[in-house]
Amino acid sequence: MVLRISEIVQQFRPDFTTYESLYKHLHSNPELSFQEHETSAKIQHDLQQHDLFRIQSKVGRTGVAAVLENGHGPNVLLRADIDALPIEEKTGLPYASTKRMKNLEGIEKPVMHVSNPTPLISPKTNIINQACGHDMHTTALLAAASLLIKARHHWSGTLILCFQPAEEVGAGAQAMVDDGLYLKVPVPDVVLGGHVMPFRSGYIGTRRGLMASAADSFRLTIHGHGGHASQPHRSRDPILTAAHTITRLQTIVARETNPTDSAVVTVSAIHAGDAENVIPTKAQLKLNIRTFHPDTRARVLASVKRIVDAEALAGDAPKPPDLKPTSSFPFLMNDDAVTAKLETSFAAHFQCSGQNYDSNTIKLGGSEDFGILATAVNRPANYWCYGGIDPAIWDKAEEAGKLESLPFNHSPYFAPVVQPTLMVATDAYAVAALTWLT
């Protein structure tokens, strides 16, 4: 008997009770980038219960990859990211994280599985800000793996699971590739993944072409000549130079970028000085730049360098500033042909099951390193998004015209409602894989 994709998914869905418990465990026990040791162990333990996967651990330091060979057919890679953020959770949930751990610089931080405290949807660009919720991604991929194992007599090919570390710092995908991921697992024919976003739970969307911006982050050190606050003429104040630099950087978007284009230049941190009567010797800033076109990216980055150097010169700094890259995310592109196939299978499955499928979802304002898993071996990819906001809360806020007041990702108050989010996320992985494997 030949079953349609939707029939396979509905017939072989796992018992979500187990995976809801797993989600809550992962939510309570988040880990920072490249330190996801307990999370990786939990993933391996779950996969070992099936006794069918060939499992590779410590890929890219803390990543996990697993392979299920099931006859002749295409190689399909499904990816979930597994790291969390240094945020103190304030959701009040019974399974809220209270965990603290040291980051890679040795500084202890509270940790939470949660994105950017900026508006939910930008009214200017119609772009949604990037989210996290990697505990949901991990749980859904494990649930989808269980579904696909039970349904293995209805598909043929090779399933590759990739649990990627360190997405939040834009380094995990490249680390796995550099560590020989594609020597340890077959090279995929297609790379697929998804992300929970602050949409109404039950919503799922795909998009052709550009899905997410590029992101470039820097640490900027502006040098000065320290001295007594009563004798500023005998010093070179790096705080004043930093203030002029911050203000001038905002003109890149306001006065150098075409209003029909999009770019974001953010100074997200500044540290300088200690005592109120001492002019410090340096000011340290952190910069984050988001762009949506390669030409814009090159121009904006050149403008950042020009302004940083010029303001240091104007402030008579004793030496040139240090502008050091800290992370870089590529543009995330969805392949048209791959997306077209998913449009057919997603529409057939999610619309028939009462969910809200959108074939033209808005671009993500944040960034992702997911695409590296595909571009590293010149393979096509697709990255979709789905909602996590409690439908009752969403509908009430929408009726009141207050959607932007809802908690969102990277907010300490954000937590996806477990269902129907987990079912939609699981179904998406399974339907996407079966689109090729059947």
Judgement on whether residues 40 and 116 belong to the same structural domain of the protein: yes
Residue the block writes with tokens 């990697």:
134
Judgement on whether residues 241 and 279 belong to the same structural domain of the protein: yes
User: How confident is the model over 4-12, as a mean pLDDT?
Assistant: 96
Which comes out higher in pLDDT, residue 98 or 290?
290
Alpha-carbon gap, residue 116 to 130, rounded angstroms: 7
- pLDDT 10s digits, 134-185: 999 999 999 999 999 999 999 999 999 999 999 999 999 999 999 999 999 9
HEC profile of 315-345: CCCCCCCEEEEEEEECCEEECHHHHHHHHHH
Alpha-carbon gap, residue 423 to 14, rounded angstroms: 10
pTM: 0.91
* Spacing of C-alpha 44 from chain mean position: 22
Choosing from 310, 329, 348, the residue where a domain stops is 329
Residue 208 clears pLDDT 80, i.e. is over it: yes
Judgement on whether residues 399 and 372 belong to the same structural domain of the protein: yes
Q: 88 falls in which pLDDT band (50, 70, 90)?
A: confident
Judgement on whether residues 240 and 95 belong to the same structural domain of the protein: no
Judgement on whether residues 155 and 254 belong to the same structural domain of the protein: no
Backbone dihedral angles phi then psi of residue 379, each to the nearest 5 degrees: -120, 155
Q: 274 falls in which pLDDT band (50, 70, 90)?
A: very high
Judgement on whether residues 404 and 432 belong to the same structural domain of the protein: yes
Judgement on whether residues 191 and 57 belong to the same structural domain of the protein: yes
Query: What tokens does 407 get?
Result: 């908690």
When the pLDDT of each residue in the chain is averaged and rounded to a whole number, the result is: 92
Query: What tokens does 105 get?
Result: 């610089």
User: Quick one: angle between helices 421-437 and 16-28, nearest 10?
Assistant: 110
Q: Torsion over CA of 30, 32, 36 and 38, rounded to 10 degrees?
A: -40
Backbone dihedral angles phi then psi of residue 85, each to the nearest 5 degrees: -120, 155
Residue 374 clears pLDDT 60, i.e. is over it: yes
Report the CATH number at residue 252. 3.30.70.360
Judgement on whether residues 293 and 360 belong to the same structural domain of the protein: no
Cα atoms in the 13 Å half-sphere on the side-chain side of 4: 8
Q: 117 falls in which pLDDT band (50, 70, 90)?
A: very low
In this structure, are residues 344 and 357 in contact, taking their beta carbons and an 8 Å threshold?
Answer: no
DSSP tag of 73: S
User: How confident is the model over 232-247, as a mean pLDDT?
Assistant: 97
User: How confident is the model over 243-254, as a mean pLDDT?
Assistant: 98
Residue 127 clears pLDDT 60, i.e. is over it: no
The residue segments making up the domain with residue 234 are 214-329
Residue 2 clears pLDDT 80, i.e. is over it: no
- pLDDT 10s digits, 40-60: 999 999 999 999 999 999 999
Query: What tokens does 424 get?
Result: 């939609």
Number of domain units in the chain: 2
Judgement on whether residues 114 and 193 belong to the same structural domain of the protein: yes
Lowest model confidence (mean pLDDT) among 105-114, 215-224, 400-409: 400-409
Burial class (CB in 10 A: 0-12, 13-18, 19+), 405: exposed
pLDDT of residue 135: 95
Choosing from 329, 358, 389, the residue where a domain stops is 329
Choosing from 268, 297, 329, the residue where a domain stops is 329
- pLDDT 10s digits, 333-350: 999 999 999 999 999 999
Judgement on whether residues 320 and 351 belong to the same structural domain of the protein: no
Alpha-carbon gap, residue 146 to 45, rounded angstroms: 13
Judgement on whether residues 243 and 308 belong to the same structural domain of the protein: yes
**Cis peptide leading into residue 412 (ω within 30°):** no
First to last CA, the chain: 13
